[in-house]
């Protein structure tokens, strides 16, 4: 039977773990991490087991959230330093998979703490937000100021999907979702996270990333389109690019079998 575990690294970083292998795959989640209460109930292990089923036979997979109550003005680099403290003291070196904002953190983490990263997977992310998407992120920031979490979720769904979910998810978020979806434990964390995304520009640190790296995303991602994926992969010394044609910001959801196969092959090399 697959083992599950939930808890808090250093008493501050909520996490859920599935699998018990000695090899660790640590996932840094995106902005959505700030939009729930930060507690992983035991059943979340079953959900993680289903989502990472291709990896749990070979890895202990950890999804590690950021602390609740992020200080105003905290940068991506500060978040990376916090993660480094948690891994150094609790888990040790690991393969790291960063999604969206989590991928920005993973870039800074890998550049500043190469001893803690075995292999790096950057998912639907890049060294900066595309110029054409900055107004969209600022709009999310305005919604965060008024605590309109439903509107944020609706816009993210449109940015993520190309199938039926691009229509149904926004509708659900703006109706029943307003009453049943999780709310942030600390409302200001959402704004701090979005500000950090807008201010991050990691172009001058990409060549400091020593880990073998896979950059994977969708060509039509409005935040990190093919041009940003290519820019990011080109400057990392040992990077491979995988861009799913026509996929958007949710390529890791919408193209799940192909995504899993590509990441599994990369990590297994």
Tell whether the model's pLDDT for residue 177 goes beyond 60.
yes
| Mean pLDDT for the stretch of residues 203-232 | 98
What count of residues does the chain have? Answer: 269
Name the least confident of 5-9, 14-18, 42-46, 126-130.
Answer: 42-46
Q: What percent of the chain has pLDDT over 70?
A: 99
Nearest to 43 by CA among 67, 62, 21, 16: 16
Give me the pLDDT at residue 173, please.
95
pLDDT higher at 1 or 77: 77
Contacts of 201 (CB under 8 A, 6+ apart): 127, 128
Give me the pLDDT at residue 269, please.
72
What average pLDDT does the chain have? 95
Residue 183 and residue 32: Cα distance in Å, rounded?
10
- pLDDT tens, 50-98? 888 889 889 999 999 999 999 999 999 999 999 999 999 999 999 999 9
Please report the beta strands in the chain, taking only residues with DSSP state E, as ranges in sequence order: 4-9, 13-18, 24-28, 60-64, 94-99, 117-123, 212-218, 239-244
Give me the pLDDT at residue 39, please.
87
Are 121 and 266 within 8 A, CB to CB?
Answer: yes
| Mean pLDDT for the stretch of residues 145-150 | 97
Residue ranges of domains in the chain: 4-130+186-267
Q: Say if strands 13-18 and 4-9 run parallel, antiparallel, or are unpaired.
A: antiparallel
Residue 14 and residue 84: Cα distance in Å, rounded?
15
Give me the pLDDT at residue 175, please.
96
Give me the pLDDT at residue 2, please.
63
Helix 149-160, helix 165-174: angle, nearest 10: 180
Indicate the burial class of 50 (C-beta count within 10 angstroms; 0-12, 13-18, 19 or more). exposed
Whose tokens are 């018990």? That residue is: 20
Give me the pLDDT at residue 94, please.
97
Residue 103 and residue 123: Cα distance in Å, rounded?
6
Tell whether the model's pLDDT for residue 231 goes beyond 80.
yes
Give me the pLDDT at residue 50, please.
86
Are 99 and 70 within 8 A, CB to CB?
Answer: no
Residue 26 C-alpha from the chain's centroid:
11
Four-residue CA torsion sign, 213, 216, 220, 221? negative
Contacts of 4 (CB under 8 A, 6+ apart): 16, 17, 18, 42, 45, 46, 48, 49
Tell whether the model's pLDDT for residue 1 goes beyond 70.
no
| Mean pLDDT for the stretch of residues 109-124 | 98
Residue 179 and residue 121: Cα distance in Å, rounded?
35
Report residue 76 as tokens.
């991506």
Domain 4-130+186-267 classification at class level: alpha beta
């Amino acid at each position: 039977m697959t083992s599950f575990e939930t808890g808090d690294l250093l008493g501050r970083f909520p996490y859920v773990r599935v699998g018990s292998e000695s090899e660790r795959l640590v996932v840094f989640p995106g902005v959505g991490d700030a939009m729930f209460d930060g507690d992983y109930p035991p059943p979340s292990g079953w959900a993680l087991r289903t989502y990472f089923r291709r990896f749990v036979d070979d890895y202990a997979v950890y999804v590690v959230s950021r602390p609740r109550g992020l200080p105003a003005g905290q940068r991506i680099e500060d978040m990376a330093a916090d993660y480094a403290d948690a891994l150094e003291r609790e888990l040790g070196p690991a393969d790291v998979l960063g999604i969206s904002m989590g991928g920005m953190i993973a870039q800074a983490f890998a550049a500043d703490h190469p001893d803690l990263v075995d292999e790096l997977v950057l998912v639907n992310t890049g060294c900066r937000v595309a110029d054409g998407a900055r107004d969209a992120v600022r709009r999310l920031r305005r919604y965060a100021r008024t605590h309109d979490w439903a509107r944020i979720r609706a816009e993210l769904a449109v940015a993520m999907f190309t199938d039926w979910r691009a229509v149904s998810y926004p509708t659900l978020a703006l109706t029943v979702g307003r009453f049943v979806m999780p709310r942030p434990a600390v409302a200001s964390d959402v704004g701090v996270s979005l500000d950090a995304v807008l201010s991050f520009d990691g172009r001058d640190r990409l060549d400091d990333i020593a880990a073998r790296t896979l950059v994977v995303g969708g060509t039509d991602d409005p935040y990190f389109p093919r041009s940003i994926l290519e820019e990011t992969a080109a400057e990392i010394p040992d990077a491979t690019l995988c861009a799913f044609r026509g996929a958007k910001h949710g390529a890791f959801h919408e193209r799940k079998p192909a995504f899993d196969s590509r990441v599994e092959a990369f990590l297994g090399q």
